[in-house]
């Protein structure tokens, strides 16, 4: 279909290797990915070819979140946001939008930068790569922790969505991966880390306090459509003080405060499960470019067995409403 | 429906608190569970009421696997197996079967005990509660590790299935649960721990070496029907030496070496996803009694929107074939 | 759930036996149905009990459509509409709405009566019981025939939906039912007759000429979610002049000009198929009272495995939008 | 996938125009179809290309069933069966099998011919094109009528399946198609005619008397997975003597005495509904060649979102079991 909006589409500046080193990833694949991360003109051809009208760009993981020095994180986040504004948004204003990179190591600075990015640079919200390292690589700050709530208050006021993107589990929490380091990233670790992070947000009571917050999860909700009903079911029997201050059933938040994207998952069976758990109004098309092939995901999505009404919503209408995007006439 | 076989049904001896302490679980709920864990006569009434013909019993988690001293584990496993043989199987031979508890801390002893349980006590296989602690509670042995392979060789020769049951993550790997300890058990930690354990088995090449091994996973495969396709998809881009010696695509093992049970999950949407990933021949009914209500699961299963042909398979026929059970006339 | 809108809910005046004789229906069942058809106060209790906020009433089939004398049809339609306005709508204005009965035997008079019913009596649209007999019981006028188009032009201007309700096939077209007369009505004949009638409307080009027409079909679209894709597929190979003047693919009309209700069908499998063909925005809850039990349909709908977001739409939101209904506080 | 069995694959002899005249079908399409109907060598290439191991051939509709003179029907059926045996089966014994054409106008002769075809020519059962004309084209004999039961007795004894294939409704029963003759055939009339014919068989009590009869329906059961649950539901309220002598619920017969094929329907949504109503053991792959493209159906089937376990069953295993086919090594 034409007119798709894609919103987990990554970039990287030649100045800052946002992904860090990649011991477990195939070198040839990673090289090709890195090249495309840093490039914008060829992207325009690719999104044209695949019926994508607008691509919302985000700094690839772990990016700013992996910087242990808060001061450096603050400085680098600004620099990155300015870079993408200049190199992509100003050149292709209707085709590229952006999520801000934020220095969550300092929640106040993160809020300031989000305001600047949205109000001055015209960004569409923020993409946060999971927990932030503070001080050292084994020290993590999750987004439901109390010091981060003032940040969320400002997000709600700004009225923009936050994309919660994966990163790999903390180095000292990788015992179960020993011997299978290839599972640490997108294959497995990304998903369980991010699903649990989202559960923390849900259970914390954050959405009770800031009910208009909107979180976007990739990879069909990191499995939560399948696994969260069991969380909800089993928490019935756990002591209340062991699972946060949430006021409602976990699935209610997933259906009302979250959007789930198709990034990197082209599995119809999983999409159907997602559709039956959150409904088509809460699902958004995405690619996870350049880690995934635009063509592979688009071909799948354009023909997967859902109603054309839902395809239109998931592919385009939901995102246009969420980001207040006007349709543009794409000249190819 | 009548004639159901249930196979994640737990017990506990008054002599050995198999579950250990339960800080995060509701005290009243846990007390009720514990009472029913230790009881067999009332169970017969309950399984009768809910159309369950045969219940395959297993020592509740973490049981033997949580004993850090291998000698004690060996001794206690025997004792437990003898106990259930005497108190349940001999009294209700057609209605109760059992999975052996095994001291995996010593794989040779585990194999010996499995042979004894199957050949002498008439057990139906084994149920293993995840990793085994060895020496201390932060030291774990996963079932794909090389020293365990001789055990698997004997399992394959015996031709009995092994139920891989959850336990909570290692104490020093619980950083992400801080503040949400209620998630450590059945709500969340059980699932990700066990799913990853199963993935280790799959990727290790174990099923290439012992292709006739049969593993049973509870809780609709611990989410793997939804999440394993992405594992398979993303491992394409990870260096081969980082994800085990498996010869086939991960999903092939899930479809051919695993059975997935409905224990503790009565979510039709997730069942449909499972059905579309592994097919009805690979799904088995189970309750997870007494943690779950026999009635709640049975009512759901008996009326969930699958074909009656599949209901019969999942509820009864698949298990009867797998365990070579003869149908018995239940006198109520 | 509370707040449901039901819109295939039938009534009958004691003055006019709208259903005619019922040779094949169980006498006891029919007697009970007829009693409830003529009654409104008890209905209020029933809809309260089942979480139904508003019930849109319609004269039961074949009603006016089965009257072979156009003059009598015209007179009786008015009489029936006045009756229900007085006995139900004026007494329970927030709980009962109505679809007009129309004398399609005279399309001009049908349009006049629809305008009167909508503008003067506050009706919500019309319900048409299939083809109209003209002159004798084997002479039928289908709604796509040219003489009916001026009626549709007025319907489009009025901006109200038309519910296309079943009636049994023409007497001289019942050869295949010989020996199985029990299939003539709701069991089978209703469905194929109405599905084909809807296909005639679709293929005729009516919706190309009057693109804002909205048709409602009961019984999950009379099977069309399953069968219309094949119609579309096979018409590719039939000569253009043999299947009407439609400009678009048949499924496009089904998704955009039709709403499908759950009346009389509480089959989750069929609902899922419908959801995957037209999307949740195009499905509406309904009971088909008193032929069906409000309780049976409501219990099923309230717990069938769709997302709560979609349940809300199908049960309530879609209908409130379509009929511009304000939510009312139900005092029970 | 390789190894598929296809079983609604039609042929025609140059001596007998089995399809008759085709006013509503596109002339160019029909010419191409007819050419391929009469050809066998090119088919071998096509089935090789599409992973089809064995194709079970049947005389195209209405074939023998449309011959009003019983004597001619008897003679022609034999002639056709001999023709296909000689021109296809003897030349490609492992790749082509056949369903017999039968003169149901004379049930005794039909039984004789079936025995001859199965026992002497090695046929796999019979394919019957709906009702048989007797005397004139408006006189029909349905297969549930009493005079046909002795035929069914012999079918059951022979232990072969009967494929119930569509034909268009009786000429004097086409009032509802007026103006839309293109719907008479595969687009719509085929389906409702054949679905109702199958319902007659189900309700008649035939399967209570001959419980081992196996009927195959094409086109995903002609819609019955969606529509038969409503038949069952509504017959509750019809007088018993109006719907045959069946002893069990209609859906039970559909699940136990029928197989449903994918012929001509490549709609995943409808396949999922079918899977959830009858289970994968009761679904069979088929093309409906040459009316459909082998490639189009195969591509869809080989990648549609069902489990590989079910794909294997539906594509190959179920048919091999039903027809006792040995796997053959296909040399291409
Ligand atoms: Zn990504
Ligand atoms: Zn358990
Ligand atoms: Zn009705
Ligand atoms: Zn055919």
This model of the complex carries an ipTM of 0.97
Question: A17-26, B7-16, C310-319: which range is least confident on average?
Answer: A17-26
pLDDT computed for residue D50 by the predictor: 98
pLDDT computed for residue D329 by the predictor: 64
Distance CA B219, CA B274 (A): 11
**Contacts of residue D269 in chain A, CB cutoff 8 Å?**
305
Q: Across all residues in chain D, what is the average pLDDT?
A: 96
> Per the residue annotation, which of D288, D302, D310, D326 is the catalytic one?
D288
The residue-averaged pLDDT of C237-258 equals: 97
DSSP assignments along B274-289, one per residue: HHHHH-GGGEE----T
Residue B200 — very low, low, confident or very high, per pLDDT cuts 50/70/90? very high
pLDDT computed for residue B255 by the predictor: 98
Contacts of A49 (CB under 8 A, 6+ apart): A294, A295
Q: Could you tell me if residue B264 is left (phi over 0), alpha (psi between -120 and 50 degrees) or otherwise beta?
A: left
C313–A279 CB contact, under 8 Å: yes
Nearest CA in chain C to A271: C276
> Interhelix angle for A149-158 vs A107-119, to 10°?
10
The residue-averaged pLDDT of D247-255 equals: 98
Q: Which pairing describes strands B136-141 and B132-134: parallel, antiparallel, or unpaired?
A: antiparallel
**Contacts of residue A182 in chain B, CB cutoff 8 Å?**
235, 238-239, 242-243
Contacts of A72 (CB under 8 A, 6+ apart): none
Interchain CB contact of A304 with B (< 8 Å): no
The residue-averaged pLDDT of C83-99 equals: 97
pLDDT digits (tens, 9 = 90+) for C153-172: 999 999 999 999 999 999 99
pLDDT computed for residue C184 by the predictor: 97
Contacts of A131 (CB under 8 A, 6+ apart): A65, A140, A141, A142, A143, A167, A170, A197
Active site residues of C: 288
% of chain D at pLDDT higher than 90:
95
What distance, in Å, lies between the first and last C-alpha atoms of chain C?
15
> What number of C-beta contacts closer than 8 Å exist between A and B?
200
Per-residue CA distances from D318 to A131, D3, D97, D206, D271 (Å): 51, 12, 16, 24, 16
pLDDT digits (tens, 9 = 90+) for B202-235: 999 999 999 999 999 999 999 999 999 999 999 9
Domain membership of residue C331 (yes or no) is: no
Distance CA D97, CA D286 (A): 14
Of C24, C264, C266, the CB nearest to D238: C24
3-class secondary structure per residue, B81-147: HHHHHHHHHCCCCCCEEECECCCCCCHHHHHHHHHHHHHHCCCCCEEECCCEEECEEEEEECCCCHH
Closest residue by Cα to residue C318 from C282, C286, C287: C282
Of A267, A269, A305, the CB nearest to D269: A305
Three-state DSSP class for residue D4: strand
Question: How close does chain A come to B188, measured CA to CA in Å?
Answer: 6
pLDDT computed for residue D328 by the predictor: 64
Q: What is the CB neighbour count within 10 angstroms for residue C236?
A: 10
Check whether C47 has a pLDDT greater than 80: yes
Q: What is the DSSP code (8-state) at residue C88?
A: I
Q: Kind and range of the H or E element at D200?
A: helix D189-204
Domain membership of residue B241 (yes or no) is: yes
| Triad B266, B269, B272: Cα angle to 5° | 100
% of chain D at pLDDT higher than 70:
98
Interchain CB contact of B146 with A (< 8 Å): no
Residue D163 contacts residue D126 (beta carbons within 8 Å): yes
> Which token pair is D238?
């019809």
B277–D307 CB contact, under 8 Å: yes
pLDDT computed for residue B249 by the predictor: 98
Question: How close does chain D come to C314, measured CA to CA in Å?
Answer: 20
The residue-averaged pLDDT of A34-43 equals: 96
Residue C330 — very low, low, confident or very high, per pLDDT cuts 50/70/90? low
The residue-averaged pLDDT of B290-300 equals: 97
Distance CA A223, CA A6 (A): 20
Interchain CB contact of D268 with A (< 8 Å): yes
Q: Across the beta sheet with A126-128, what order do the strands follow? A: A126-128, A162-164, A215-217, A258-261, A283-284
Mutate to test the interface with C, among D133, D265, D267, D300 (most CBs of C within 10 A): D267
pLDDT computed for residue A330 by the predictor: 62
Ligand nearest to the CA of C186: 3
Ligand nearest to the CA of C129: 3
Residue C293 contacts residue C269 (beta carbons within 8 Å): no
Domain membership of residue D288 (yes or no) is: yes
Spacing, Cα D256 to ligand 3 middle (Å): 31
Tally of helices (H runs) and strands (E runs) in chain C: 14, 10
Residue D318 contacts residue D278 (beta carbons within 8 Å): no
pLDDT digits (tens, 9 = 90+) for B17-59: 888 777 899 999 999 999 999 999 999 999 999 999 999 999 9
Interchain CB contact of C267 with B (< 8 Å): yes
Residue B330 — very low, low, confident or very high, per pLDDT cuts 50/70/90? low
pLDDT digits (tens, 9 = 90+) for B148-180: 999 999 999 999 999 999 999 999 999 999 999
**Contacts of residue B194 in chain A, CB cutoff 8 Å?**
none
Mutate to test the interface with C, among B220, B266, B267, B268 (most CBs of C within 10 A): B268
Per-residue CA distances from B253 to A319, B199, B228, B246 (Å): 38, 10, 11, 9
Closest residue by Cα to residue C217 from C187, C262, C158: C262
Residue D330 — very low, low, confident or very high, per pLDDT cuts 50/70/90? low
Radius of gyration over every alpha carbon of chain A, rounded to an integer in angstroms: 19
Residue C320 burial (CB < 10 Å; 0-12/13-18/19+)? middle
> Per the residue annotation, which of A288, A302, A310, A326 is the catalytic one?
A288
pLDDT digits (tens, 9 = 90+) for D254-309: 999 999 999 999 999 999 999 999 999 999 999 999 999 999 999 999 999 999 99
Distance CA B152, CA B157 (A): 9
Range of the domain at B147: 4-322
What phi, psi does B165 have (nearest 5°)?
-105, 150
Domain membership of residue C327 (yes or no) is: no
Mutate to test the interface with D, among C131, C170, C182 (most CBs of D within 10 A): C182
The residue-averaged pLDDT of B116-136 equals: 98
Domain membership of residue C236 (yes or no) is: yes
Residue A20 — very low, low, confident or very high, per pLDDT cuts 50/70/90? confident
D255–B309 CB contact, under 8 Å: yes
Is cis: bond before D57, omega within 30 of 0?
A: no
Residue C127 contacts residue C165 (beta carbons within 8 Å): yes
Contacts of B187 (CB under 8 A, 6+ apart): A230, A231, A234, A235, A238, A243
The residue-averaged pLDDT of A190-199 equals: 98
pLDDT computed for residue D299 by the predictor: 97
Check whether D332 has a pLDDT greater than 60: no
pLDDT computed for residue D239 by the predictor: 96
Interchain CB contact of C209 with B (< 8 Å): no
Q: Which pairing describes strands B283-284 and C4-11: parallel, antiparallel, or unpaired?
A: unpaired
Question: How close does chain B come to D224, measured CA to CA in Å?
Answer: 13
CATH number, domain of D239, equals 3.20.20.140
Three-state DSSP class for residue D9: strand
**Contacts of residue C256 in chain A, CB cutoff 8 Å?**
309
Active site residues of B: 288
For the stretch C66-70, contacts whose Cβ atoms lie closer than 8 Å and that sit 24 or more positions apart, written own/partner, are C66/C20, C66/C129, C66/C133, C66/C137, C66/C167, C67/C103, C67/C105, C67/C133, C68/C105, C68/C133, C68/C134, C68/C135, C68/C136, C68/C137, C68/C139, C69/C105, C70/C103, C70/C105, C70/C106, C70/C109, C70/C134
Distance CA B247, CA A213 (A): 45
Interchain CB contact of D280 with B (< 8 Å): yes
Residue D326 — very low, low, confident or very high, per pLDDT cuts 50/70/90? confident
pLDDT computed for residue B18 by the predictor: 86
pLDDT computed for residue D18 by the predictor: 86
Distance CA D133, CA D131 (A): 7
Distance CA C40, CA C57 (A): 10
% of chain C at pLDDT higher than 70:
98
Question: How close does chain C come to B193, measured CA to CA in Å?
Answer: 28
**Contacts of residue C269 in chain B, CB cutoff 8 Å?**
305
Q: Across all residues in chain A, what is the average pLDDT?
A: 96
Residue C76 — very low, low, confident or very high, per pLDDT cuts 50/70/90? very high
The residue-averaged pLDDT of D244-248 equals: 97
Which ranges of chain A would DSSP assign to H, the alpha helix? 27-37, 41-49, 70-84, 107-119, 149-158, 189-204, 206-209, 219-222, 224-235, 250-257, 268-278, 294-303, 308-312, 318-322
> Interhelix angle for D224-235 vs D189-204, to 10°?
40
pLDDT digits (tens, 9 = 90+) for A261-306: 999 999 999 999 999 999 999 999 999 999 999 999 999 999 999 9
Tally of helices (H runs) and strands (E runs) in chain A: 14, 10
Residue B254 contacts residue B202 (beta carbons within 8 Å): yes
Distance CA D217, CA D223 (A): 10
pLDDT computed for residue B332 by the predictor: 56
pLDDT digits (tens, 9 = 90+) for A236-246: 999 999 999 99
pLDDT computed for residue B171 by the predictor: 97
Which ranges of chain C would DSSP assign to H, the alpha helix? 27-37, 41-49, 70-84, 107-119, 149-158, 189-204, 206-209, 219-222, 224-235, 250-256, 268-278, 294-303, 308-312, 318-322
Domain membership of residue B330 (yes or no) is: no
Residue A326 — very low, low, confident or very high, per pLDDT cuts 50/70/90? confident
What distance, in Å, lies between the first and last C-alpha atoms of chain A?
15
| Triad C145, C147, C151: Cα angle to 5° | 100
A197–B175 CB contact, under 8 Å: no
pLDDT digits (tens, 9 = 90+) for C262-305: 999 999 999 999 999 999 999 999 999 999 999 999 999 999 99
pLDDT computed for residue A329 by the predictor: 64
Q: Which residues lie across from D100 on neighbouring strands?
A: D126
Domain membership of residue A330 (yes or no) is: no
The residue-averaged pLDDT of B188-209 equals: 98
Residue B235 contacts residue B243 (beta carbons within 8 Å): yes
pLDDT computed for residue C22 by the predictor: 72
Distance CA A97, CA A124 (A): 7
pLDDT computed for residue B20 by the predictor: 78
Interchain CB contact of D219 with C (< 8 Å): yes
The residue-averaged pLDDT of B258-272 equals: 97
Q: Which pairing describes strands D215-217 and D258-261: parallel, antiparallel, or unpaired?
A: parallel
Domain membership of residue A332 (yes or no) is: no
> Which token pair is D202?
């189900």
pLDDT digits (tens, 9 = 90+) for C195-220: 999 999 999 999 999 999 999 999 99
Closest residue by Cα to residue D233 from C37, C293, C6: C293
Q: What is the CB neighbour count within 10 angstroms for residue D299?
A: 13
Of B281, B282, B307, the CB nearest to D255: B307
pLDDT computed for residue A208 by the predictor: 98
Q: Across all residues in chain C, what is the average pLDDT?
A: 96
pLDDT computed for residue B99 by the predictor: 98
Question: How close does chain C come to B185, measured CA to CA in Å?
Answer: 26
Distance CA C310, CA A307 (A): 14
Nearest CA in chain B to C272: B305
Q: What is the CB neighbour count within 10 angstroms for residue A146?
A: 9
Largest CA distance in chain A: 59
Interchain CB contact of C268 with B (< 8 Å): yes
> Which token pair is C137?
């019981």
Q: Which residues lie across from C125 on neighbouring strands?
A: none
Number of domains in chain C: 1
């Amino acid at each position: 279909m034409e007119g798709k909006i894609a919103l987990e589409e990554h970039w990287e500046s030649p100045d800052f290797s946002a992904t860090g080193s990649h011991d477990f990833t195939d070198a040839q694949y990673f090289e090709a990915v890195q090249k495309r991360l840093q490039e914008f003109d060829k992207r325009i051809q690719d999104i044209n070819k695949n019926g994508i009208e607008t691509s919302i760009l985000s700094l690839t993981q772990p990016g700013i979140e992996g910087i242990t020095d808060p001061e450096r994180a603050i400085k680098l986040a600004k620099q990155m946001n300015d870079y993408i504004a200049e190199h992509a948004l100003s050149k292709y204003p209707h085709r590229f939008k952006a999520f801000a990179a934020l220095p969550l190591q300092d929640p106040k600075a993160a809020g300031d930068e989000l305001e600047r990015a949205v109000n001055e640079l015209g960004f569409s919200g923020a993409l946060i790569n999971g927990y932030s390292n503070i001080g050292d690589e084994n020290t993590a700050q999750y987004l439901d922790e109390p010091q981060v709530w003032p940040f969320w208050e400002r997000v709600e006021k700004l009225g923009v969505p936050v994309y919660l993107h994966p990163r790999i589990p903390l180095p000292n929490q990788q015992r179960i991966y020993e011997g299978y380091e290839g599972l640490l990233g997108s294959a497995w670790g990304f998903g369980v880390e991010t699903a649990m992070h989202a559960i923390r947000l849900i259970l914390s009571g954050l959405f009770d306090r800031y009910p208009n917050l909107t979180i976007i999860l990739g990879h069909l909700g990191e499995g939560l459509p399948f696994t969260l009903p069991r969380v909800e079911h089993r928490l019935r029997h756990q002591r209340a003080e062991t699972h946060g201050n949430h006021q409602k059933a976990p699935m209610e938040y997933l259906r009302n405060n979250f959007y789930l994207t198709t990034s990197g998952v082209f599995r119809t069976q999983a999409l159907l499960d997602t559709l039956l758990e959150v409904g088509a109004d809460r699902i958004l098309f995405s690619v996870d470019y350049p880690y995934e092939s635009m063509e592979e995901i688009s071909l799948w999505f354009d023909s997967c067995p859902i109603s054309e009404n839902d395809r239109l919503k998931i592919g385009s209408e939901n995102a246009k409403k969420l980001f207040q995007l006007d349709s543009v006439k794409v000249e190819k």
